[in-house]
Structure 1
Amino acid sequence: MLFYTIASMLVAGTALAQTPPGFVPQVNKTLDVYYGTTYITPGLMVKKSSVSKAPTIGVTGVTLTGAKYLMVMIGKPPQGTATKRGTVLHALLQDYIPTTQTLNGSLVLTTKATGPASYFGPAPPAETPKHPHNYLFLLHEQPANFAVPQSQKSVVSGRMNIDWIKFMKDAGLTDPLYANYLQVQSGDNTRRG
């Protein structure tokens, strides 16, 4: 009986994670991410061409209490591959606010900001064999008077090898409230669920 209880807890814990295995911090609440009308379930494999423009984001079943939110998108190379590439900052957008607009039940958040780092879509490099790359979305409550810390400015402008835990600490961010991720592999022109 104890075995089944532990196994059930492990399966439930895995099902709740909205970030890929091994990513820290783990987040259990889903950020609703839409590319057009396509809803991104955590880990969905998508075509590179379908995620070239910034997504619409939202949350379901909650009332947000913060004034503003910060959304980051980080590209992470496949775990266990021999790649020397590090993480890539695909977007760091501030000043998201909740709206009264809904999309399939999601309360939509919008921003007019295009920075501190504008969105650019996934574009994994050619690889043999091909490996799915993870692209993570994290939503943080935005501190008042948020600005990229001096210690992080060159990383944000260069976009390469961002250490999100260090960024969070330097910027005074609390743990992410919501997360999601998708997968893209080089040359992948199919969409799988």
Structure 2
Amino acid sequence: MRYSSFFSVLAATTCAIAASVQTVPDELATVGDPSEILSVSYAVGSTAVQVTPGVNLNSSITHNAPTVHLNETTLSGSGPYLFMMVDPDINKTNPLYVGMHTMVVNLTTSDSTSTEDAICTYFYPEPTAGAAHNYTFLLFEQPANFTVAKQFSPYLATTSQTPYNRVNFPLVQFIKEAALGAPVAANYFREAAESNSTATSSGASTTITANSTATGSAATSSSTQEGAATKVGQSGSYLMSVVVVVVVMVMGALMVAV
């Protein structure tokens, strides 16, 4: 009976920890905080670096466009879906305005790229000095006959003014006018500015990878790939460490009770 109680407590604790995972940063809580984690990865050489909510990444990982894995995300339908990546920390205002990094439409759970359309091509994070930014992935059910209203088009364009034209994107207004509703899945990572001595991929200049889409792959040196992947692995193991600590505490309590 004691062991049965132990495993019941362990299962309940593990479920509670999993349910408490925050899929969006606090800045975007008003947009929606879906319980489903959107499966997203960055290609670093031949390694797929999986994004876990709140993980710290750097420019050697995020320089090229991410890959969205809808077939690894629990969704109610096959699609189409709309995917976007935004930076809510580029200009903290109320109502919420964000930096737009990419927007892709017509995604399906088949993960086929034949129907996808990157209506806003990817540009990589370049946070300024200071606190890390919470770069956020949002997935919405795409309405039938979806179109981008004229007033939003300049924010999505890739021009000589990019990325400056992507700043102050009226996210809440866009979601409302496009009838997107609340996001069905989300995820986010944190990235801070790197010093000139440690920056690898983005450097100090502002450039746009105009041919990158949401299924692009990274091209970085092998010396940075290994270190970056290790860093993500350490951050991604945090949840497991919490579970182990909880198990030890519960076992100790049961031994005292005996």
Q: Which residue of 2 aligns with 1:77?
A: 89
1:53 to 64, 86, 92: 64
Q: Which residue of 2 aligns with 1:162?
A: 169
* Contact 2:37 2:73 (8 Å CA) reproduced: no
1:140 deviates by: 0.7
Q: Secondary structure at the match of 1:94?
A: strand
Residues 178 and 22 of structure 1, relative CA distance in 2, 3 Å threshold = same
Mapped partners of 2:154, 2:91: distance in 1: 26
Mapped partners of 2:75, 2:136: distance in 1: 23
* Contact 1:97 1:111 (8 Å CA) reproduced: no
* Contact 1:44 1:183 (8 Å CA) reproduced: yes
Work out which of the two has the higher radius of gyration on C-alpha atoms and give 1 or 2. 2
Mapped partners of 2:26, 2:172: distance in 1: 16
Q: Secondary structure at the match of 1:67?
A: coil
Which blocks of at least 5 consecutive residues in structure 2 are unaligned?
1-12, 158-164, 199-227, 236-258
TM-score by length of 1: 0.75
Residues 183 and 149 of structure 1, relative CA distance in 2, 3 Å threshold = same
1:176 partnered with 2:183: yes
Q: Which residue of 2 aligns with 1:118?
A: 121
Which blocks of at least 5 consecutive residues in structure 1 are unaligned?
1-7, 81-85, 100-107
Q: Which residue of 2 aligns with 1:148?
A: 148
2:20 to 15, 21, 27: 15
Residues 21 and 162 of structure 1, relative CA distance in 2, 3 Å threshold = same
Residues 79 and 19 of structure 1, relative CA distance in 2, 3 Å threshold = farther
Mapped partners of 1:109, 1:63: distance in 2: 16
Mapped partners of 1:180, 1:33: distance in 2: 8
1:185 to 187, 192, 201: 192
1:49 deviates by: 1.8
Q: Give the count of matched residue pairs.
A: 168
1:151 deviates by: 2.8
1:28 deviates by: 1.9
Amino acid in the other structure paired with 1:76: P
Mapped partners of 1:110, 1:185: distance in 2: 31
Deviation string 1:2-34 (CA, Å, 9 cap, x unpaired) is xxxxxx9xx869823200123122222100111
Moved more, 166-175 or 56-65: 56-65
* Contact 1:123 1:186 (8 Å CA) reproduced: yes
Amino acid in the other structure paired with 1:35: Y
Mapped partners of 2:89, 2:182: distance in 1: 22
Mapped partners of 1:136, 1:111: distance in 2: 25
1:182 deviates by: 0.6
Moved more, 60-69 or 47-56: 60-69
Mapped partners of 1:55, 1:141: distance in 2: 19
Aligned residues with identical type, % of pairs: 26
Q: Secondary structure at the match of 1:22?
A: helix
RMSD: 2.8
1:153 deviates by: 1.9
Mapped partners of 1:77, 1:64: distance in 2: 31
1:30 to 28, 37, 43: 37
1:112 deviates by: 5.1
1:64 deviates by: 4.5
Residues 165 and 61 of structure 1, relative CA distance in 2, 3 Å threshold = closer
Residues 115 and 138 of structure 1, relative CA distance in 2, 3 Å threshold = same
Mapped partners of 1:21, 1:13: distance in 2: 18
